[in-house]
């Protein structure tokens, strides 16, 4: 009997508006796709910057299996101490070794193992170790320690530049099940599965307010762009919300991707009070 794996991956979740739309749609998505794992980028989960124990529990209870991170992973004070013990949250593998936290998570599904990791880019981003050499080391470590011959490997590449994301795809083609881009919050329509069995998309998108500047309050963004001032961006609490994601279908025997399905869901919500 063929052992196929289904994985849901959600784009960057932006603060309370993003968490709300995830809680609304995620049960429907789980019913529709019956995923073996639900992965979400959580680096904007807490007020748009960072991730905390409190807000992550909201979505663990709704069905998220693992959160990946990005350049804002450390924004919440004390997060590192939590990261050190919370195995369902992974920080970028190319963060310096001096930062505490798990670099990979493993989800078991029958006789298959799903390895989950994330990397941050270096073009137009904060300093980090080389994502290309780090990815090679990461895959070698996963292959060496895996309890199955052909594990499913999902990599979230949290990067600004399309060129860097595409280049990493060519470096990892055939070595991972999926390379999924995050960070820009705008879903791209270039999803495909390569001949070597790697699923790819440049950016999955986001969960948050539709009437926003990549999830943030338009008035804050306008002030920053017009004046050049440093402005504390806050999530937009517009009532129209969106949730972007992809579904990866893969072979549990070979670890190769079989299909990638992109989705965007929209709903109107009552106005809510700004906050965490």
Query: Which residues have a Cβ under 8 Å from the Cβ of 2 and sit 6 or more positions away?
Result: 251, 253
Phi-psi region of 275 (alpha: psi -120 to 50; beta: other; left: phi over 0): left
d(CA 74, CA 89): 12
Query: Which residues have a Cβ under 8 Å from the Cβ of 166 and sit 6 or more positions away?
Result: 202
Letter string b/e over residues 115-129, b meaning 16 or more CB atoms within 10 A of that residue's CB = bbbbbbbbeebeebb
Q: Which of 72, 158, 183, 185 is catalytic?
A: 72
Cα–chain center distance at 29: 16
SS3 83: helix
Q: Is 72 a catalytic residue?
A: yes
Q: How far is CA 49 from CA 107, 147, 234, 235, 265, in A?
A: 26, 36, 9, 9, 23
d(CA 124, CA 84): 28
- Going by C-alpha positions, the residue among 261, 260, 194, 7 that lies closest to residue 112 is 7
- Catalytic residue numbers read 72
């Amino acid at each position: 009997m063929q052992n196929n794996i289904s994985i849901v991956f959600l784009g960057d979740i932006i603060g309370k508006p993003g968490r709300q739309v995830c809680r609304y749609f995620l049960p429907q998505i789980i019913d529709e796709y019956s995923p073996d794992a639900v992965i979400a980028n959580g680096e904007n989960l807490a007020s748009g910057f960072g991730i905390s124990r409190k807000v992550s529990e909201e979505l663990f209870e709704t069905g998220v299996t693992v959160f990946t991170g990005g350049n804002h992973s450390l924004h919440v004070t004390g997060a590192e101490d939590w990261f050190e013990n919370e195995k369902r949250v992974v920080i970028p593998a190319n963060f310096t070794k001096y930062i505490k936290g798990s670099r990979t998570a493993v989800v078991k599904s029958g006789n298959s193992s799903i390895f989950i990791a994330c990397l941050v880019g270096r073009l137009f981003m904060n300093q980090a170790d080389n994502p290309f050499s780090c990815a090679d080391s990461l895959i070698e470590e996963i292959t060496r320690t895996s309890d199955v011959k052909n594990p499913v490997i999902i990599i979230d590449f949290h990067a600004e530049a399309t060129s860097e994301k595409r280049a990493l795809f060519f470096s990892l083609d055939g070595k991972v099940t999926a390379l999924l881009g995050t960070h820009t919050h705008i879903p791209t329509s270039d999803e495909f599965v390569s001949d070597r069995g790697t699923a790819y998309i440049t950016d999955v998108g986001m969960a948050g307010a539709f009437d926003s500047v990549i999830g943030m309050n338009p008035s804050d963004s306008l002030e920053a762009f017009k004046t050049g001032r440093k402005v504390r961006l806050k999530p937009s609490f517009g009532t129209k919300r969106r949730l972007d994601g992809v579904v990866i279908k893969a072979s549990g025997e070979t670890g190769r991707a079989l299909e990638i399905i992109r989705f965007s869901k929209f709903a109107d919500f009552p106005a809510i009070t700004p906050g965490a």
